[in-house]
Each structure stands twice: as structure tokens, then as C-alpha cells.
Amino acid sequence: MNFMWSAIIITSFLFIAGCNKDNDKDVSDFVGNYVISKAELSAVLVVPTVESGSFSIPVGTNITQVIQTALLSAVSCSSASKSYVELRENFSMYFSCEGANPLNTGTWEEVSASSLKLNMNSTAIPPVGFVLTVTDIEKDATGLTGIATVPLPKEMIAVFLSSMQLTLDPSAVAVYMATISIEFTKK
């Protein structure tokens, strides 16, 4: 009889302990709201210009506004600094302007402690979406930084070059792949 009561009590403790573990879900360190606060070239980007033929845009060139426009253009906002990326616990991703009318823009995956994949749907990046993988991530209390390769349409390159009094050559390819260092600041 004591053995039966002991078995019931032990089974009850194991059941209760098992239930508590289910409530303690691991939440990714990446969950949160982020502003794209800085983007710089981390590899030279060579483009053809009318004025000088091949033109090398050097490492360290600030292209924050270009990246904010490329990645957050689906959200109407008065300022890019008010637009942000929401990485939710359920691995959904939203773009938002000051939290108003968040736009479902895809999903995200924690590939490793230092690698993140943003699966942006066609709402975020028309017409077919885009997967942005951020690697070599370093996290701190204010956000995270990492390396990514992003496609920049020639139209964006042309606007960027015009600020330098250069003209993109008509022979330019449709898209340039730019390797960047990107900083996301927690909102």
C-alpha cells in the first residue's frame, strides 16, 4: 500500500515539474523592435560612371539612408528613424512606423547565436521578397551589429552617385550586391 502511495506522489511531482518546464519557453535574444541606425560598405563596391569609367565606392562609406529606403520602403513614415523592424516571439516579422499599423513582412530565423535570417515577403520587398542573412552578429544592451549582403538596384546607386556629382553609366547592370556592416538599435 505504501509503495502505491509513493508511486502516485512521485508521478504527481514529475507531472507538475514537467508542466513547469513547458511554461519556461526559451525566448530568443533577437526578439525585439529595431531601428536600422547605421549601414556602411564593408567591401568596395565598383560601379560604372559616365565621368570616370569604373568607380570604386570605398569601405566605410555610409549608406544608411539607401539601406533604410531599400528595406523599409513598404512602410509609410515621415522619417526612416521612426520606421522599425519588429522580430516577434512567434518568429513573425513586422515593419512599423512608430508602432502604428504594423505591416506583416515575413518571418525570421535564429540560425545561430551570431547569425539571423530575415525572410521578407513580397509585401516588404516587391515583387517577390528577399532573404537577408545577417552574420557575425555582436549583441549588446543597445542592439546588434552584423554583416549582410544586400541587392541594390541601379536606380538607388544612381541616386547615391548623384550626391557625389557622378552619373551612373547607362551600361550598369540592374542590381549590385553590396556587402555591408549593419547596425540595429533596440527601440
Mean pLDDT, residues 21-35 taken together: 77
User: Which grid coordinates belong to 65?
Assistant: 539612408
The CB density around residue 58, as the number of other CB atoms within 10 Å, is 10
| Helical packing angle, 64-72 and 154-162, nearest 10° | 150
Judge whether 129 lies within some domain: yes
Check: pTM over 0.85? Answer yes or no.
no
pLDDT confidence tier of residue 16, bands split at 50, 70 and 90: low
Position 152 scores a pLDDT of 87
Judge whether 7 lies within some domain: no
In residues, how long is the chain? 187
Residue 117 pLDDT exceeds 80: yes
Residue 2 pLDDT exceeds 70: no
User: Which grid coordinates belong to 167?
Assistant: 552619373
What's the rounded Cα separation, in Å, for the pair 86 and 104?
9
With helix as H, strand as E and coil as C, how does 106-131 read? EEEEEEECCEEEEEECCCCCCCCCEE
148 burial type by CB count under 10 A (0-12 exposed, 13-18 middle, 19+ buried): buried
Residue 25 pLDDT exceeds 80: no
Mean pLDDT, residues 32-41 taken together: 94
The domain containing residue 99 runs over which residues?
25-186
Please state the domain count of the chain.
1
Judge whether 11 lies within some domain: no
List the CATH number of the domain containing 94.
Answer: 2.40.128
Judge whether 18 lies within some domain: no
Position 13 scores a pLDDT of 53
pLDDT digits (tens, 9 = 90+) for 37-82: 999 999 999 999 999 899 999 999 999 988 888 788 888 888 777 8
Judge whether 17 lies within some domain: no
Position 7 scores a pLDDT of 46
Judge whether 6 lies within some domain: no
Residue that wins the pLDDT comparison between 100 and 108? 108
The amino acid occupying position 170 is P
Judge whether 98 lies within some domain: yes
Judge whether 74 lies within some domain: yes
Residue 124 pLDDT exceeds 50: yes
What's the rounded Cα separation, in Å, for the pair 79 and 147?
24
| Percent of the chain scoring above 90 in pLDDT | 60
The amino acid occupying position 71 is L
